[in-house]
């Protein structure tokens, strides 16, 4: 495993050892995503040392773990509208997906991992449009870009939408079906906190099954005054909603009040 605690990288070995790797020239490193060969890592970071009280403007970098050398794979942002965040390395090794901006709203950008050239942009419902504020909340993105094990699909966990990773076509949208099934099970989303960018707390994170037919995901919920996080599963056709575990008791402060998942559900 690997983490990026602001400056440099920390490699967490299977035997329990932690190894630090310096990355000179990059600051505020975060959201690391390992390449399939574990030789490189994509991160969000900045080339400017953070100033206390000021927001950092992030973009995406690829770091060689052995040497600490890095290269930029997305443009340096001039304003917050141009920044890039939350990289995810495709299991195929040739692409990196991340959140970016277009016309002051959010899109998924997919880049060639070697050259950094943009090969696909995904907005609302496909390659057109984008996720933007509606009714005072940001309706759509949540946490990382989840890429399927065969690299053919992209899941937006917070919206429970599945896209074709090559064409950008929308293949499935089961968000409302999951909310309806949640209500039928006697739960409702935890409304004490707004969630990341005001997009709510259900779902929080998720991943596609190896055959791309199911989604495992989690979300913060409430029932009869009791709060927790549910681990759930749903078919990509919107059927088969199942609560797998929970409510799991978590401390919301540990995730910036449900801005991201503490369960981090994954398929193996």
So what CATH class is 1-131? mainly beta
pLDDT tens track for 19-43 = 888 899 999 999 899 999 999 999 9
Put the strands of the sheet holding 59-64 in their side by side order. Answer: 27-34, 40-46, 59-64, 70-72
Residue 91 has pLDDT above 60, yes or no: yes
Distance CA 75, CA 199 (A): 26
What pLDDT is recorded for position 126?
Answer: 75
The gap between the terminal CA atoms of the chain, to the nearest Å, is: 16
Any idea where the domains of the chain sit in the sequence?
1-131
d(CA 176, CA 68): 44
Considering 87-96, 104-113, 143-152, the range whose residues carry the highest mean pLDDT is 87-96
Can you name the residues that pair with 64 across neighbouring β-strands?
Answer: 40
In this structure, the strands spanning 137-138 and 118-122 are unpaired
pTM: 0.89
3-class secondary structure, 218:
strand
Q: Are 18 and 8 in contact (CB under 8 A)?
A: no
Q: C-alpha 69: how far from its chain's center?
A: 25
Q: What is the pLDDT of residues 168-199, one digit of tens each?
A: 999 999 999 999 999 999 999 999 998 876 77
Query: Got the DSSP string for 131-171?
Result: B-EETTEE-S--SS-EE-TTSSEEEEGGGTEEEETTT--EE
Both structure tokens of 124: 């609302």
């Amino acid at each position: 495993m690997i983490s990026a605690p602001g400056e440099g990288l920390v490699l967490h070995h299977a035997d329990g050892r932690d190894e630090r790797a310096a990355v000179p020239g990059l600051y505020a490193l975060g959201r690391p995503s390992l390449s399939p060969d574990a030789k490189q890592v994509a991160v969000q970071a900045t080339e400017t040392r953070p100033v206390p009280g000021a927001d950092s403007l992030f973009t995406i970098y690829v770091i060689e773990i052995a040497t600490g050398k890095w290269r930029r794979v997305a443009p340096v942002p001039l304003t917050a509208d141009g920044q890039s965040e939350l990289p995810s390395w495709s299991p195929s090794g040739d692409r990196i997906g991340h959140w970016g901006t277009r016309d002051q709203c959010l899109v998924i950008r997919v880049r060639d991992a070697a050259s950094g050239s943009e090969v696909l942009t995904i907005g609302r419902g496909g390659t057109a449009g984008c996720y933007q504020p509606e009714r005072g909340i940001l309706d759509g993105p949540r946490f990382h870009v989840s890429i399927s094990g065969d690299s053919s699909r992209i899941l937006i966990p917070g919206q429970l939408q599945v896209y074709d990773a090559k064409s950008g076509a929308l293949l499935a949208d089961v968000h409302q079906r999951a909310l309806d099934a949640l209500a039928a099970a006697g739960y409702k989303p935890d409304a004490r906190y707004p969630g990341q960018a005001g997009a709510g707390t259900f779902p929080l994170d998720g991943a596609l099954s190896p055959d791309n037919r199911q989604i495992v995901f989690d979300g913060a919920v409430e029932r009869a005054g009791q709060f927790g996080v549910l681990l759930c599963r749903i078919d990509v056709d919107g059927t088969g909603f199942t609560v797998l575990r929970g409510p799991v008791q978590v401390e919301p402060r540990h995730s910036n009040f449900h801005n991201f998942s503490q369960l981090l559900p994954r398929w193996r």
